[in-house]
Structures are given as C-alpha cells and as structure tokens.
Structure 1
Amino acid sequence: MKNKKFGNHAQKSLYRTVTKMVPAVLTALIATALGFIALYTSPVPMIQDFGKMLTAGMIISFIVGVLILIPILFTRDKFFSNKQSVSHTKKVKKVSKFETLLGQFTKRLVSLRWLIILLAFFTAGFGIWVDLDAGAETDVESFMPQDLQALDDIHELRDVLGTTEKVSILYEGENILSHKSLSWVESTSQEIKNEFGEIVVESNSITEVLKQLNEGEVPAQAKIEEQIKTIPNQQLKLLVNESETKGVITVGIKHLEAEPLKSFIKNLNQYLKDNQPENMKTTVTGKAVLDVEMVTALTTGRYKMTLLGMVLVFFGLLAVYRHPIKAFIPLIPIIFIIGWSGAVMYLAGISYTPLTATLGALIIGIGTEFTILIMERYYEERESGNSSIDAVIIANQKIGKSIFASAITTMGGFSALLASDFVILSNFGMMTLINISLAFFSTIVVMPSILIIFDRFVKIKYIRTNER
C-alpha cells in the first residue's frame, strides 16, 4: 500500500488519516475507557455514573470525529480547496514556529534524558509518599457556598438547640414495653450522655414521654399499658412500632466531620454491644450513619481504583500491541503525574474531597490518550527508517501541537467549574486543570526520554543499520 496512487491530495490525506491516525486514536480510546472502568468499582452510584458518562462521551466523540468530522474535511479539501494553494503546499514544506520550537526543545530534552527521568522519579516518589497520609475534607457544610443563607440558618439553629444532627439507636425485643426493657432504655439513654458527654447533647425515647406522664419516673408495669394509650398515635409511631417489638432512642449530637463522627459511631456500637441485654438487639442507624458510609466510600480506596485502572490499561494495551514493553511505556508518565498531583495537593494544603478522590482514574484517562498518540507516531517514524533521536523529535513536533490544542480545550471546559459557588466543584475544577497541565508536561517533557531509553527493548522493523 506504500506505492498506492491517489487521484488528488484530499484522497491521500483521507487514506493516511484513516490508516494511521484513526487506529492510534482508537487505541487511546480503548486505554482511556479501561482506565475509567475503575470508577465502576466504586460502591457509590454517583461515581459509577460519572465513569459511565465519561466513557459514553468519549465513544460519542470518536464516532463523531470519524463519521462526521473526517468526511467534512475530505469534502472541503476535495471540492472547495484552491488547487493553486494545494500545489504550493506540495512544494513548500510548512513548519510552524511552534513545531520548530518543539523540535529544538525536544532535542535538548533527549540530551538530558537521564537527569529528567531521575528528577521525575524522585519528585513523583515524594508526591506518592506524602499523599499516602493526605487528609480528606469530609464536612459536607464546607462544600457549600459559605455565604449561603440556608447555611447561616443552620448555624443559628444549632446555636439555639445545641444540635441539628441525630443518630438513632434501634432496639428490638419480644416485649420492649415491659418495665425491665423500659428501665434498660432509660439507663442506656442516661449512660450514653455520660459516656459521650462532649458529643451527645440530648436523647429522646418512649421513656421520656412516659416520665412526663408519671411525674418524672418510669411507670410501674401496671401503669405502662394505660399510659401508652394516652400518647397520640402519630407521636407513638416515632418511638415504637405497632407490634411493639421495635423502638428507637434518638440521640442528638454536635456537628462533627466524617472522621470524628465515624469514630463516635464505632464507639457507640461497641458500648451498646458491651451493655446489651440477652433478649435485646441494638443497631445504630440514621442519616448520619449513611453520610459517614457515603463519604468514607468516596474518599477511601482512591489508590485501589487508580491501580486497578492502570492494570486494566496495561492488559488492554498488551492485547493491542502484544508487547509488554510497549504496553508499559504509556503508563510510566501516568505514574509520574499521580505522584506530582499528590505533591501539589500537599504543598498547596489542599485536602481530598469526594470528587477529587476520583482524579486518579481521570489522570489515567487523559494521560494515556496523550502518551499513546506520541508513542504511536514515534514508532511510525522508527519504522520509516529514522533514528530514535530523529523519530522522537518528529513525533513531538507533529503530535505535540495537537496534544497542546487538546489540553488547552479540555482545560477550557473544566475551567468553567472554577466559577461555581460550591467549593467542592471549584476545587475539583482547579485540580483537574492542574492534572491536565501535568499530563501535557509529562507527555512533552518526560515521554521523549522514556521512548529513547526503552527503544532498545522494542524490536523495530526496517531500521537503518547506521542509525546511531
């Protein structure tokens, strides 16, 4: 097919695009989608849906590019281009100033390749080390606009009542309205206040209502059934079920972030387990418990998702290239980006949020697209007979400009999040911009050195014997 003749310049461009560029972009698409699959493993449906929408958006973009954009460009060049300008471009090899600068820059980079790799390795290692102990912002109120009137109202209400958050203790037994059971409910309510006095503000249960009807004392067994009948049905349903086998102790607590709240719930469960009667079963539940589980699921396991994404991408590329080194090369800059991202967050004092905890998978998705495109062009030039140095310079010149444009447009889209009043969204937008910048930097600056160093491990067809 190398000697294939074309009727015009448009047909030649179409042929080269379909045979050279589309397969490279498809490989990058597959790798990116595999990286996003890690998001599907999150126990939180919101993160799963985020991964699905990212994957769907990429697939749609690829289809639109192949089936709509390429035909439009072909139609323009075939029917609406100026023949004189086409003839002129054949005679003059146009090299933009940007490409010239990239070529000179890349030539300097490869001469310092070992220094670049060492610096990248140590800085990324530092970032990963400090990121292992990075904190996570888990206070939901800190994610909201701080000048929101509703937030001020919550703070004012909390000052008046002492609490706006509650934890429910569900207790089950055969006869929860017996005097023995009610005595346990009363003593447990009081002991929880004493045991967790710095956190617990108040508690409410069926015994509090009965005490109001019985001069501040839990009534004797003979009076319990009679006084229960005097309690309004709507109020009674909040404390005891109709079959009288389940009851609730509502515990009002101070406002806590997720980690202290998680610790309190754990200690409360242990306390109830140690002081639970044989005929009673207790469970700590309520919205606060669900919030803790949700935030914990969002902010933990980020390295697990990232590693899973990288493993999936590696095996995906291994299936495509059938060469372990070629499958591993695009992932090396990604490891650096993950480390640098952690270092930036540490040095800037930025804590993880439920959204930024997903950045690992996003880095893999965006970064592998860049690195695969550079690598594909590099090996295309190598197979054409260029030396490793020349091949990497040409690859950076020709693909670097496209990657720069892609990075700028992607950053432009995510920069809209910076205008959000919600801190969680603006922080996510900021870290995404930083990570896209790091992905571009790693691809243009570090990837050439990686390609040169690993070149000897990849067998190339049609290599000149005197290339070095």
Structure 2
Amino acid sequence: MLGVAGSLCFAGLYADTMIGVETDVMEFMPPEMPALIDIDHMVEVLGGTDQLNLIIKADDVTDPSVLEWMDRFSAHEVELHPYISSGESIAGPIKAANQGELPEDAAGVDAILQTIPESTRDRYIYGRTTALINLGIGDAISGLGLPRIDRLIRLVNDDVRWTQLPPGVTVTITGNPVAMTTVLTALTTGRRMMTFIGLILILGGLFLLYRDWLKAIVPVLTMTLVIGWSGGVMYALGMDYTPMTATLGALILGIGSEYAVMMMERYFEERENGLVPIDAIRVSTGKIGVAILASGCTTLAGFSALLASPFSLNRNFGIITVIDVLLALIASFFVFPVLIVWLDRMREKRRARKVAKIREPDRTKQPNRTGKGITG
C-alpha cells in the first residue's frame, strides 16, 4: 500500500512540472459574455492592442538628443523583434510636422511642438520631464503566453541597457503585459514554495504541540502524498494552473491535515488504553471515521457549488478542490492507518532494542556466585 501510494506521489510530482499555466485572463470569463465578444471582435479587426510602455525620464525629454534616441530605439525594436509591430513616441508627430526629419536644435523642436495638437502631445509627453514610448505587441497576452511575453520584456530591457542613453535619461518598462506577467508569475511559479512553507509550518506546529516527531510527521507525510496525487490528476485531466488553483497545495494541507490529526489523536488514545497498533487503528477508525467522513462530505458539498459558476476560473478551482478533498479522505482512511501502524511498530522495536542494550551490560556485571569457597 505504502509503496504504491509513494510511487503515485512521485509520479504526480514529476507530472506537475509539465502542467501548463493559463495566463490569458480572457479564458477565465464566460465565452458568451457580451463584453468579451466585443473584445474578440475588436482584436480580429485591429489585431490586438497590447503594448509595452517605456517611461522616459530626463531633465528635458524634448531635447533633440533624447528625441533622436527615442526615434532610433523605436525603429530598432520593430526591426529586431517580430512580435513588436509598432513603436510610437512624440518623435513621430514631430517628424510628421517637419517633413520627416527631427529638428536639430531645441528652438526648432519648440516651434514644431506648438503646431502639434495638445491631445497628441499629452499622449506622449508630460511636461518636459516625462515621455512615453509605446511598443505595440498585438494580442500578445493571448498569442504568446506567459513565458514568451516575459522573455520579450527581458529582451527589450537588455536592448535599453545595450543602447547608449543620452546623459541623465532613465527608462522604465511598464504596461499591462508587464503587470500581468509579474502578477501571474508570482502567483503560479511560487506555488511550490507556498506548499513547502505550509509543510514546514504544519510540521513545526505539530512538533511544538506534541513534542513527538512521530505525531508531527505522520499527518505531513499523508498530505504530501495527496499533493503529489493532485498533480498527477491535473496532468491526466489536461488542466492548467491558474492564479486560484496555484494555491491548492497550501489549501489541501490545511484541510487534509485536520483529518489526519483527528485520526491520529484517536489512535494514540486507544494505544494508551493498552491496545496494540493494529487493534488501536481498527478501533479508532471505527469510532471517529464517521465524523471525519461527515466533515469531508460537507467540505465537498460547499466547494461543489463552484462547479455551477459560469467563470472557468472559479469552476476549475471547484473541480480541483473537490478532487483534492476526495484524495485527502482516501489518504486518511487507507494510507494513514498503514503508515502510522508501520511507523509506530518501528518505534516500538527501536525502543525495545535500546532497552535490551541497557539491560545486557547489567547482566554481565553481576558476580558469579558459583564455585566460591576456601580451598586448603
């Protein structure tokens, strides 16, 4: 039993590394939502409106050297990266108003700026110290996916560092793709760390409470198996991680550990009453099993309500949570009893060997009273 459970756990943990991450927030919404239909139609017509926004900071962003850098950098990015379809900045309207050339001095720039509509100026510059470069990347969030968007952002960042910026100029990359990439990466790639921290906290908390490594480690081992099984089930069902399902490792630790702790408490009560391990687990399962099953069923019923949600984000979370609670119940009733009896018997044997080693020197030190007397 333990061998099969452990093998499935390791297989599930390996499969978990191959599970994808859903980064398109549009996929979280009902496909029949009118607003989503309008957005899809707009993307079909315009080709997507996602942008990387580069914020330019300088003492004077209308300085000819700064304008020349913005114009050159925008053209360089469009030419270098196939996913960047356009590069817009205040340099574009200035060139359009000056026969396709940038003025060579500040006076010429000021004169051209006065002829440009205020709405156009406000789109690209704020005062004299801040300017904006918009790099159009189409429907990148849906088309590229999280890893490629993240790589594109890093490549643009490298290009900024590689090009020689004018003195006193700083560049910051921002925009919706940057924010989405940062948030989704933090939520999804940090799931293993969240689960590991949860395991450590539960292990530490149980040890502080019981001062017994066996009582601390058995619930944690049981729920670790469930985490591995859950990854295998998600992979088998072809499901991707979302910002909500990425937290399930920590969630199932909190829910499932309760079942194992309740079973363990009852088991050690029966052991204190003098029952051997196999009888203790049989009696404890019979006495508290119904309560644990009832608790699990209420949890299942509560999370099952999410299955009716029209939003796939909530629905997928409900599906995986229901599956994980079922796995936690299976582990509590079938794996936990075998595990705790096995570990308890191992501890008894180890204690027996220690007692035998202590008593053995005492026997060898006892004086041999036979053959004593005075011979003459």
TM-score by length of 1: 0.71
State the match for 1:235 in structure 2. 120
How many residues get paired? Answer: 342
Secondary structure in 1 matching 2:125: coil
Residue identity opposite 1:445 in structure 2: F
Q: Say which of 88, 91, 94 aligns to 1:210.
A: 94
CA contact (8 A) 1:299 1:357 kept: yes
Q: Say which of 125, 148, 151 aligns to 2:36.
A: 151
Residues 59-458 of structure 1: pairs in structure 2 closer than 5 A: 116-197=1-82, 199-221=83-105, 222-242=107-127, 244-256=128-140, 257-279=145-167, 280-456=169-345
1:134 to partner: Cα distance: 2.4
Distance 1:346 1:158 in 2: 31
Percent identity between the aligned chains? 37
Q: CA RMSD in A?
A: 1.5
Answer 1 or 2: higher relative contact order, Cα 8 Å, separation at least 6: 1
Distance 1:437 1:278 in 2: 62
Gap runs ≥5 in structure 1: 1-115, 460-468
State the match for 2:353 in structure 1. none
CA contact (8 A) 2:259 2:332 kept: yes
Distance 1:270 1:126 in 2: 39
Residue identity opposite 1:356 in structure 2: T
1:230 to partner: Cα distance: 2.7
Residue identity opposite 1:206 in structure 2: I
Distance 2:164 2:173 in 1: 13
1:117-140 alpha-carbon deviations (Å, 9 max, x no partner): 110011101111121232211111
CA contact (8 A) 1:265 1:289 kept: yes
CA contact (8 A) 2:29 2:313 kept: yes
TM-score by length of 2: 0.87
CA contact (8 A) 2:277 2:345 kept: no
Distance 2:68 2:209 in 1: 69
1:435 to partner: Cα distance: 0.1
Q: Specify the structure having the higher radius of gyration (Cα).
A: 2
Distance 2:44 2:94 in 1: 28
Residue identity opposite 1:149 in structure 2: P
1:410-443 alpha-carbon deviations (Å, 9 max, x no partner): 1111011111111111000000000000000000
1:317 to partner: Cα distance: 0.7
Secondary structure in 2 matching 1:276: coil
Secondary structure in 1 matching 2:62: coil
Secondary structure in 2 matching 1:166: strand
